[in-house]
């Protein structure tokens, strides 16, 4: 247990019935929000930062995160089964209200930080809502005290007040005007030319032809400059409406606010139950039939099927030793998004308990899985080395795990794709494509355009995504 964690205490209350809260407005431009089809988590302020100096490569550090979360005493007023046997250092319950959020870099060995917010809001699949306040044990801290002063029957109104519009905790300044969600200018500049990306794909195909690896995912990045700061809450709300089947997230990072709408579930743990839904294989979603008809060409594609199979087999190998009843469908299904269709496979299972009766936390499962071949390659180490050599810029948080883990070990972690990093009026967008035997450099370039266009459409509605003018400048300069 860290000394910082030892000084903390938490209290959790259920929210009284009332008007629904907008999680994106509550999180604001610099808070934390994670919203799936069935649950919501929002984090404000910071009670505790947990640093993984070696990222996911240090299993003991991952276990240490869980010890810190479980060490925080919880006065829990939310009815429910609780943590099923887990307890804090003083014997109190270690409930699901103590949550650590993270957006981890793609580079699994890079330093990563998880944040335990001073205020956490949750809405669970059963419809229940709650708020957790965490502060220092000696005096409660200003944020904890102000929240407790609201009383157990006034938290919905208190959170709603923070949401309209949210200002920094403790600030006495009047809230700033919300930025317009519709920029009038969106300038796109690719970070590398079309020819350089085609060359990257060709080099990867040469490595695959020698048998050095079976698959590698290559990413392409573009810079977008708007004429006004990005209105993050409005962007997230728009993205949620466009992609209701995706997990919409926003997490502060040293490079800016990392946000997106990811369709790809890395891993979810609920008690002993686990679930993963890898995606690989992509085509444009048909506009002529509303996108509802099965995309037979994608299901029949040998290249896409092979790319997808490599991902599913890798996840199977990682999770099979932990679950005697791991269930992996023989064939993928279709996952339809707003403008794109993917091949997807839903993997489920029940974790086998250790002799001590424990199962790995969702964070520890992330450490076993990331990066899957959906964003890395096969073999994993060789693919990561090739990515580092071929890609001209670091991926940063793109394609890294993003999600949360609570004190029980439960949590949801997505793959940070269909995402961007925002700072002021600037955004960095990225998209990756899987390269396997049979890949074509021109088609892979088109696929990056398709994926980037989907992200750009949420950022700058009404604007057409194009890098044509900047491509020509790159090619002339070369």
pLDDT at res. 91: 36
Q: How far is the C-alpha of 37 from the C-alpha of 265, rounded, in Å?
A: 12
Rounded mean pLDDT, 62-67: 96
Mean pLDDT of the chain: 88
Rounded mean pLDDT, 372-380: 97
Tokens found for residue 233: 């809450």
* Nearest to 253, CA basis, from 133, 110, 385: 110
**Residue whose structure tokens are 């980037």:** 452
pLDDT at res. 180: 52
* Nearest to 415, CA basis, from 405, 395, 401: 401
Q: How far is the C-alpha of 358 from the C-alpha of 369, rounded, in Å?
A: 19
Share of the chain above pLDDT 70, in %: 84
Rounded mean pLDDT, 401-427: 97
Q: Which of 243, 264, 391, 447 is catalytic?
A: 264
Distance of CA 398 to the CA centre of its chain: 9
- Does residue 408 register a pLDDT over 90? yes
Rounded mean pLDDT, 300-314: 95
pLDDT at res. 83: 39
pLDDT at res. 184: 78
Q: Give me the DSSP letters along 442-460.
A: HHHHHHHHHHHHHHHHHHS
Where exactly are the structural domains of the chain? 3-162, 186-477
pLDDT at res. 286: 62
pLDDT at res. 173: 46
Rounded mean pLDDT, 438-454: 95
The residues, any chain, with a CB within 8 Å of residue 324's CB and separated by 6 or more, are 350, 352
Asked if residue 440 lies in contact with residue 309, where contact means CB atoms within 8 angstroms, the answer is no
φ and ψ at residue 399, rounded to 5 degrees = 70, 10
- Does residue 150 register a pLDDT over 70? no
- Does residue 82 register a pLDDT over 70? no
The DSSP output letter for 410 is -
303 assigned to active site: no
pLDDT at res. 147: 52
Domain 186-477 in CATH 3.60.21.10? The answer is: no
- Does residue 382 register a pLDDT over 50? yes
Q: Of the ranges 48-62, 81-95, 140-154, which one carries the lowest mean pLDDT score?
A: 81-95
| β-pair partners for 221 | 430
Confidence label for 321 from pLDDT (cuts 50, 70 and 90): very high
264 assigned to active site: yes
Q: pLDDT tens for residues 199-226?
A: 999 999 999 999 999 999 999 999 999 9
pLDDT at res. 96: 82
- Does residue 3 register a pLDDT over 80? no
* Nearest to 444, CA basis, from 268, 220, 135: 220
Share of the chain above pLDDT 90, in %: 75
Q: Which of 129, 215, 243, 447 is catalytic?
A: 215
Greater model confidence, 309 or 172: 309
Give the three-class secondary structure for 434: strand
- Does residue 399 register a pLDDT over 90? yes
- Does residue 288 register a pLDDT over 70? no
Rounded mean pLDDT, 269-288: 88
Confidence label for 137 from pLDDT (cuts 50, 70 and 90): low
Rounded mean pLDDT, 54-71: 96
The DSSP output letter for 327 is B
Q: How far is the C-alpha of 334 from the C-alpha of 305, rounded, in Å?
A: 12
pLDDT at res. 130: 95
Alpha helices by DSSP H, listed for 350-430, are 362-369, 380-390
Confidence label for 95 from pLDDT (cuts 50, 70 and 90): low
The beta strand positions in 54-164, using DSSP E, are 74-76, 99-103, 112-116, 119-123, 129-136
| β-pair partners for 257 | 252, 422
pLDDT at res. 145: 47
Q: What pTM was computed for the model?
A: 0.90
pLDDT at res. 468: 73
Confidence label for 163 from pLDDT (cuts 50, 70 and 90): confident
């Amino acid at each position: 247990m860290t000394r910082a964690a030892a000084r903390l205490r938490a209290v959790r209350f259920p929210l009284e019935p009332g008007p629904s809260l907008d999680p994106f407005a509550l999180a604001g431009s610099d808070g934390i929000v994670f919203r799936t089809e069935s649950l919501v988590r929002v984090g404000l302020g910071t009670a505790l930062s947990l640093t993984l100096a070696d990222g996911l490569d240090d299993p003991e550090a991952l276990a240490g995160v869980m010890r810190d979360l479980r060490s925080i005493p919880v006065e829990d007023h939310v009815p429910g089964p609780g943590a099923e046997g887990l307890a804090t250092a003083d014997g109190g319950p270690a409930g699901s209200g103590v949550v650590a959020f993270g957006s981890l870099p793609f580079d699994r060995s890079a330093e990563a930080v998880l944040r335990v917010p001073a205020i956490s809001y949750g809405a669970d699949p059963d419809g229940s809502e709650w708020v957790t306040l965490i502060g220092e044990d000696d005096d409660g801290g200003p944020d904890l005290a102000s929240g407790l002063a609201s009383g157990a029957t006034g938290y919905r109104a208190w959170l709603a007040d923070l949401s309209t519009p949210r200002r920094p905790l403790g600030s006495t300044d009047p809230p700033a005007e919300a930025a317009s969600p519709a920029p009038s200018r969106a300038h796109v500049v690719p970070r590398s030319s079309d020819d350089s990306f085609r060359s990257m794909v060709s080099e990867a195909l040469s490595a695959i032809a020698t048998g050095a690896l079976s698959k590698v995912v290559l990413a392409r990045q573009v810079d977008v400059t708007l004429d006004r700061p990005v209105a993050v809450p409005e962007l997230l709300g728009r993205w949620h409406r466009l992609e209701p089947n995706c997990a919409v997230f926003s997490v502060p990072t040293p490079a800016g606010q990392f946000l997106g709408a990811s369709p790809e579930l890395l891993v979810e743990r609920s008690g002993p139950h686990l679930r993963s839904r890898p995606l690989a294989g992509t085509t444009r979603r048909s506009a002529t039939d509303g996108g509802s008809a099965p995309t037979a060409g994608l299901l029949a594609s040998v290249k896409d099927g092979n790319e997808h199979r490599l991902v599913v087999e890798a996840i199977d190998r990682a999770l099979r030793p932990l679950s005697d009843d791991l269930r992996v469908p023989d064939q993928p299904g279709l996952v339809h998004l707003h403008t794109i269709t993917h091949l997807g496979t839903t993997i489920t299972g029940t974790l086998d308990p250790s002799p001590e009766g424990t199962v790995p936390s969702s964070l520890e499962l992330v450490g076993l899985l990331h990066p899957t071949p959906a964003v890395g390659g096969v073999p994993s180490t060789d693919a990561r080395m090739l990515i580092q050599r071929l890609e001209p810029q670091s991926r940063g948080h793109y394609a890294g795990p993003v999600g949360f883990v609570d004190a029980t070990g439960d949590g949801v972690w997505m793959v940070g794709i269909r995402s961007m990093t925002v700072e002021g009026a600037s955004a960095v967008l990225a998209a990756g494509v899987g390269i396997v035997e049979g890949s074509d450099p021109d088609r892979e370039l088109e696929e990056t355009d398709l994926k980037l266009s989907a992200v750009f459409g949420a950022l700058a509605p009404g604007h057409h995504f194009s890098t044509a003018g900047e491509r020509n400048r790159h090619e002339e300069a070369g």
